[in-house]
Structure 1
Amino acid sequence: MEKFEDLIKSPVPVLVDFFAEWCGPCKAMKPVLEELKLVVGDKARIVKIDVDQHEELATKYRIQAVPTFIVFKNGEAVWRHSGVIHSSELQGVIEKHYT
């Protein structure tokens, strides 16, 4: 299994969705992320991290609310947003960081 630190070192943007199974807004974001994946294709990777199963990552990245989205590129967090967000906004962020 790929380690998180290796995954986020990608030159392609990696959108990480920090979520929880019990979180209503997180469930609402699932179809949005599935649609986004179809739209952006290979321009980004989309990864879901369950904060209850990966508490060390949630602590390391100071996740205080779910869902929280962070875009990583070359190991750096280049964008962050907490709460529900429209897929077109996420697409814009990915396009901005895909070079």
Structure 2
Amino acid sequence: MENFKDIINGEKPVLVDFFATWCGPCKAMTPVIESLGKELQGQARVLKIDIDKNEMLAGQYGIQSVPTFIIFKKGEAVWRQSGVMDKSALEQQIRSFA
């Protein structure tokens, strides 16, 4: 099984969605994130990280509000934004690092 560090250190960009199950905006973004994961298969990876189940990881990346999206490229956080986002804007960001 791959761990988080292995995944974000890969060649392909990785979109990480830091979310919480109790968060309304996070629930609204779920279909968008799932759709992007399917559409970008082979070009980028998409991960969802539940901040309540992964408190250390959320703390390590300074997650203070959810949803927070971070794009990693070769282990480095290259882009970050919090809050609900338009699918096309999010897709454009990921593709810019592919």
**What corresponds to 2:74 in structure 1?**
74
TM-score by length of 2: 0.95
TM-score by length of 1: 0.94
| 2:40 alignment partner, SS class | helix
Cα distance in 1 for residues equivalent to 2:73 and 2:38? 20
Alignment of 1:18-97 (within 5 A): 18-97=18-97
Cα distance in 2 for residues equivalent to 1:70 and 1:57? 13
Q: Is the 8 A contact 1:17 1:47 kept in 2?
A: yes
State the shift of 1:40 in Å: 2.0
**What corresponds to 1:2 in structure 2?**
2
Count of aligned pairs: 98
Cα distance in 2 for residues equivalent to 1:50 and 1:38? 20
Q: What percent identity do the matched residue pairs reach?
A: 57
Any gaps of 5 or more consecutive residues in structure 1? none
Once the two structures are superposed, residues 1-60 of structure 1 have per-residue CA deviations (whole angstroms, 9 ceiling, x without a partner) of 311111100110000000000000000001111221232221110001000000000000
Any gaps of 5 or more consecutive residues in structure 2? none
Runs of 4+ in 1 over 3 A off after TM superposition: none
